[in-house]
Chain A
Amino acid sequence: MTPVHPAAAGMIAAVVLTSTAGEVLTAAAMKSVGDLDEIRARSGMKGAIRAVVSCPTFFAGVFFLALSFFSLLFALNHLSLSFAAPASASLTLITNAIAGKIFLHENVDRRRWLSAGLVCVGVYLLAH
């Protein structure tokens, strides 16, 4: 197995970190907004859209997701798709589980750790 070049590792790390920041901020925003199904039932689709777009954390999340998208485009420009896509997708699952526990205070129990690990290996195998 050939070692991963530091530049390649840096590109994958950039995708994984920006994606994790985006997912966590978006999740935090949606938790602060509340159940969208209930808001839509109460104030209609416009009310639900207004509730989402009036949350600054949501835009911070979208900013990092956009950054992650462009980091992935940059990585794909230098690395092969069969390496960059599965590596970033599977590592993001693990970093999100860690970030979910630390920042969102989610109950990441043994079941979720095991699930994240299985899905991570599964995504890796699927891309080969």
Chain B
Amino acid sequence: MAGRDLAVSKSVHDHSHDSAGDSNEPGYFELMEAALRELLVEKRYFGADEIRRQIEVLDSRTPALGAQVVARAWTDPAFKTRLLADGRAACEELGISFYDDTRLIVLENTETVHNLIVCTLCSCYPRPVLGLPPDWYKLKPYRARAVVEPRAVLAEFGTIIPDDVEIRVSDSTAMVRYLVLPRRPEGTEGWPHEQLAALVTRDAMIGVIPVNLPAGAAR
């Protein structure tokens, strides 16, 4: 069903034109969102300030938080054990609050296992630690293919996993989210925490790429 995604892309594309903002006219769906929200506030289902506060929460969540978690796991074995046992509790220990009712399972990449996360049904994602997902994570090609041909999908991200390394794909749900703990690159022994955290990218914590040393960095 190639048509479905083309339509999604087209729609997303059209929107970016709208947002160029030559008119202040709100779109139909933008009006619908505003109307729904105002009606629910009027009916006292929640307060207008709750939406504003949640936007601030969303803005405060970026992959930099996940990178802190990963760097800590690389440098603190006891923390890593706790993180793998209960991802949410270990993140909360670092002050990362979970604003939703989700459980977090952290999947460790090793010499023999490479993990990849996906949500085939929709777009479930470890938002408290990574922020909102990129568009490609929400669109059909990644969702449809990651579970059946992960090696081909990874190759499109430039990631080649040796045949003797097992690839495990974890399919997220509304209640259970995953985060990949990437392998620490060789040559980073003794690096300070912040320098390690700076290496860790969003895509590495989704599992589509490894953590790499910047070209020419450290030996």
Q: Do A and B come from one complex?
A: no
